[in-house]
Structure 1
Amino acid sequence: MDSFIKRVGTIYVPVENPAISSIWYQKTLGAVENYRDEDKAILDFANQSFFLVKSKIGEKAIFKDYKGAEHFLMTFEVDGIDELKQFHSFLTQKEVTVGNIEDRGHPGNNFVYYDLDGNKFDVWSELSPTFSK
């Protein structure tokens, strides 16, 4: 059976202040802001639309698994291990909280980083086949 769903169009990220978070995403990740009001900022980056939604203080896009380990909701992809290392270094220089580059036992390497509001994201050194063409 063919899937009706073709791609993820929009991702919603909880933030304390959409204006301040939008500036962080623009300066740090190269996002482009398309719209902003007091409740949200709409950004384009990584071939996605991101809504930075004003949320209660302490809300984060993180969950814990059954063992209590903290998990991210999404993984960004870069094109190869060299680009992964460059991006890791870039974020470190911007004083973003980043984890170590690690081998998780599958192809490629990963690291995690946190945005201004403490949302945790993953980065992987392998591009999906659709983007590696």
Structure 2
Amino acid sequence: MIEKLNRVGTVYIPVTDPDRSQKWYIQHLGAELKHLDEAKAIIDLAGQSFFLMKASAEQSANFIDGNGDRHFSLTFEVDGEKVLSELHEDFIRRKIPVGEIEDRGHAGKNFVFADPDGNLFDVWSELNPASQ
């Protein structure tokens, strides 16, 4: 029998300066630093291990979708639309680049934000049943 995949172990995010990036993720997203060297910073964020990997400025975790738009590759979840709205307002106060809160035609609402290297991330107001 083939074993199923249990969880995501690590997410790799390209950044131009791991030290600068880890400080930003700690200050603005509440991450915890686990390791730092010239090539990478390892942080814990939202119950997940992230490697902030030194890369050239042209690299990002984004991709171009079928409409030709830059698209995020990762969605964070928060517990409800009130929390989503409060987080959105907090990010605006912190001058984090954020998009508008959107209704995408499915349960909950979303918004997109960017880190200092332009990596886009999504935030969704619904919790996955497995994480509740």
TM interval, shorter chain, is over 0.9
* Structure 1 residues 1-133: aligned runs within 5 Å: 4-132=4-132
What is the Cα deviation at residue 65 of structure 1? 1.6
How high is the TM-score relative to the length of structure 1? 0.95
What is the Cα deviation at residue 2 of structure 1? 7.4
The C-alpha deviation readout for 1:105-130, integer Å capped at 9, x for no partner, is 00000000000110000000000112
How high is the TM-score relative to the length of structure 2? 0.96
Question: In structure 1, the residue corresponding to 2:11 is in which secondary structure?
Answer: strand
What is the Cα deviation at residue 49 of structure 1? 0.1
What is the Cα deviation at residue 95 of structure 1? 0.2
| Number of matched pairs | 132
Quote the Cα distance in structure 2 between the aligned partners of 1:60 and 1:39. Answer: 16
- Among all aligned residue pairs of Structure 1 and Structure 2, give the percentage whose two residues are the same amino acid: 50
Quote the Cα distance in structure 1 between the aligned partners of 2:37 and 2:100. Answer: 36
What is the Cα deviation at residue 4 of structure 1? 1.5
What is the Cα deviation at residue 57 of structure 1? 1.4
The C-alpha deviation readout for 1:50-92, integer Å capped at 9, x for no partner, is 0000001121111012321221001000000000001101111
Question: In structure 2, the residue corresponding to 1:130 is in which secondary structure?
Answer: helix
Gaps of 5+ in 2: none
Please say if residues 109 and 124 of structure 2, whose CA atoms lie closer than 8 Å, have aligned partners that are also in contact. yes
Question: In structure 1, the residue corresponding to 2:86 is in which secondary structure?
Answer: helix
The C-alpha deviation readout for 1:5-61, integer Å capped at 9, x for no partner, is 011110000000000000000000000000000000000011100000000112111
Please say if residues 57 and 117 of structure 2, whose CA atoms lie closer than 8 Å, have aligned partners that are also in contact. no
Question: In structure 2, the residue corresponding to 1:41 is in which secondary structure?
Answer: strand
Question: In structure 1, the residue corresponding to 2:105 is in which secondary structure?
Answer: coil
Query: What RMSD, in angstroms, separates the aligned Cα atoms of the two structures?
Result: 1.2
